[in-house]
Amino acid sequence: MKRLLGYVKKYLKYAITCPLLKMVEAIFELVSPLLVARIVNVGVKNQDVSYILKYGLIIVAINISVLIIGILCDKFSAKTSVGVATDMRRDVFKKVSTFSHAELDKFGTASLINRLTNDINQVEGAVAMFIRVLIRVPFLLIGAFVLSFVISPKMSAVFAGFIVVVSIILYFYMRHTSPYFKKLRVKLDKISLVTKENLEGTRVIRAFNKQKDEEARFESVTNDYTSTSIRLARISSFLHPMIYLIVNTAIVAILFIGGWQVNVGGLETGDIIALIDYISIITMSLFITSQMILMFVRTSASVNRLNEVFDTTPSVVDGGKIKDTKHLKYDALLEFKNVCFNYAGDTQNNRSFIRDLSFKLYPHQTLGIIGGTGSGKTTLASLMVRFYDVTGGEILYKGKNIKDFNLAPLRKEISIVQQRSTLFSGSLRENMQLRNNKASDEEIISALKTAQAWQFVSEWDNPLDYQIMADGKNVSGGQKQRLTIARAFVNNPELLILDDSSSALDFLTEKNLSKAIKKLDTTTVIISQRATSIQNADLIIVLDNGDVVGMGTHKQLMKNCEIYKEIYLSQTK
């Protein structure tokens, strides 16, 4: 909660003004029953119409003032709560943007989306409620009890007993419901995860006719959420009836004892009306207190989840020492020295995922990486761009440890095209300018031609202004791959990594693409399942379950590496 208060400080003038106005409103509410009592005790008793009108107009004026105060308080609380939620959402998003792939794997996309939306919305509602009632409710509660004591010290015992009993009920209610709210947040994450996977994989689900299975899976997680909600509702269902029972019992006691006091001259009729009003104010205050307690429990669960994000330290930290690489003198552009790597939380694998890998890649050379599924090819590509940090050994770029570089210039020089082609909603030009937002149309067209994409892009009306749908839904798989490859060519990267990025291309297009890449003034890493895609590389690394089982040129590997020879012959013969 300390961090939440830090966000509220920015809107301190609204956060202070609103409770003060609410306290004035509470004073008016506490005074009203006394005025009603005077009207009954004096005006009605003496049949004094002018007295009744006088105090009636005062009550009307008080109610109008309460209305104006309420409007102002709602405005101030909205400015505070919405401002806090906006600032927090922005900071959480910024924090998530600093996460490496390891932290993103840890939290999961669905959970992070829920934290950015549902949890922050919960905080927003709590801030608005607390600002309006945090001072007002205790003031009303204490004020109503004190004024009831002033009216009748004997009757205050009824009020005291009422408050104690209701407070005990609220305490046990909070104690038993608190764990359920935490469970509900986790189960809501599961629902979001299943929904996200279902929507993203809808083509696969329909292709395998698994709609019924997915419906059953979704029903399972929603039923789990529902059962927890029902258990919480069962506990909550006892709260209001019990409080109403106690309230009505207290009112009956006031009427019974108060009636006897009126008969003996200890109280007047108007005092009884005022006491009933005060018991109503106390009841309302206790109800709001119960809602505040529930809101606090829910919000504390949400704040804890947000704090998990804020308190997570990214495993890949910006080195910041080297911001400009132009002055560096080096022999090999990229060098792996006894590199080992294992994914965080991988307890099933006793060995490292990548083990003791060493090689050098010189400027303008081409490195080919090949191996079976799960052999570590994509992991290698992620290490080169520093999506993950090595767990052993070191990676040198231009002769310096990759951890010493500022991430922005490093990734400006290294361009990667990943296995899953990703395009964003917007114009083609905007997608092509991701690496360089100042790239000219001529540069973009040149990159499209190199990637063998211009032949179909040129057929579009206003090609560079063509609107791409989210995730490139309005282009084919092969077109999407060529567009993402073209995007990587913009700004002429010094190191280009193609991670199985031509799998959807036909052999002729891939051959033309390879020829075009050779003409570029860049160092290239090609990861592929096709031996023909990398056979002309200056250096080929063959991986098998994280181990290097072969390294050399195509001719050398055909003689010395049985796994490479087997892959090549199975694809060409």
CB 470 within 8 Å of CB 430: no
What own/partner pairs with CB < 8 Å and gap ≥ 24 does 238-244 have? 238/173, 239/169, 239/170, 239/173, 239/290, 240/287, 242/169, 243/166, 243/169, 243/283, 243/286, 243/287, 243/290
Same domain, 240 and 347: no
276: in domain: yes
Same domain, 290 and 361: no
Same domain, 239 and 300: yes
Task: Please identify, among 246, 279, 311, the residue that sits at the C-terminal boundary of a domain.
Answer: 311
CB 159 within 8 Å of CB 189: no
Count other Cβ atoms within 10 Å, centred on residue 495: 22
- pLDDT at position 354, please? 83
Instruction: Examine the pLDDT at 175 and tell me if it is beyond 80.
Output: no
Same domain, 529 and 408: yes
50: in domain: yes
Same domain, 419 and 509: yes
Question: Phi and psi for 318 in degrees, rounded to 5?
Answer: -60, 120
Tens-place pLDDT, residues 466-524: 998 887 888 888 888 889 888 888 878 889 998 887 776 777 888 888 888 888 878 99
Mind giving me the DSSP string for 199-251? HHTHHHHHHTT-HHHHHHHHHHHHHHHHHHHHHHHHHHHTHHHHHHHHHHHHH
Tens-place pLDDT, residues 351-365: 557 888 889 999 888
Q: What average pLDDT does the chain have?
A: 83
539 — pLDDT class (breaks 50, 70, 90): very high
Give the range among 125-129, 327-331, 426-430 with minimum mean pLDDT.
Answer: 327-331
Give the range among 16-30, 54-68, 350-364 with minimum mean pLDDT.
Answer: 350-364
Same domain, 293 and 365: no
Q: Helices marked H in 9-155 — which ranges?
A: 12-38, 45-46, 49-98, 101-107, 109-114, 120-133, 136-151
Mind giving me the DSSP string for 521-559? SSEEEEE-S-HHHHTT-SEEEEEETTEEEEEE-HHHHHH
86 — pLDDT class (breaks 50, 70, 90): very high
Grouping H, G, I as helix, E, B as strand and the rest as coil, residue 105 is helix
Give me the CATH number covering residue 561. 3.40.50.300
318: in domain: no
Instruction: Examine the pLDDT at 350 and tell me if it is beyond 70.
Output: no
Cα–Cα distances (Å) from 467 to 249, 448, 471, 477, in that order, read 69, 16, 12, 17
Overall average pLDDT of the 308-314 stretch: 88
Overall average pLDDT of the 558-572 stretch: 86
Give the range among 41-45, 98-102, 272-276 with minimum mean pLDDT.
Answer: 41-45
Give the β-pairing of 495-499 and 354-361: unpaired
405: in domain: yes
519: in domain: yes
Instruction: Examine the pLDDT at 105 and tell me if it is beyond 50.
Output: yes
Instruction: Give the rounded percent of residues in the chain with a pLDDT score beyond 90.
Output: 7
Q: Count the domains in the chain.
A: 2
326: in domain: no
299: in domain: yes
Tens-place pLDDT, residues 138-154: 888 888 888 888 887 77
DSSP 322: B
Same domain, 255 and 372: no
Give me the CATH number covering residue 124. 1.20.1560.10
Count other Cβ atoms within 10 Å, centred on residue 545: 14
347 — pLDDT class (breaks 50, 70, 90): very low
Same domain, 36 and 141: yes
514: in domain: yes
Same domain, 269 and 365: no
CB 437 within 8 Å of CB 516: no
Same domain, 240 and 387: no
Overall average pLDDT of the 35-57 stretch: 82
Same domain, 305 and 345: no
- pLDDT at position 90, please? 93
- pLDDT at position 346, please? 57
Overall average pLDDT of the 245-270 stretch: 76
Same domain, 296 and 360: no
Overall average pLDDT of the 82-105 stretch: 88
User: What domain range is 95 assigned to?
Assistant: 2-311
Question: Which amino acid is located at 113 in the chain?
Answer: I
Please name the helix (run of DSSP H) or strand (run of DSSP E) that holds residue 478, with its range, or none: helix 477-489
Instruction: Give the rounded percent of residues in the chain with a pLDDT score beyond 70.
Output: 97
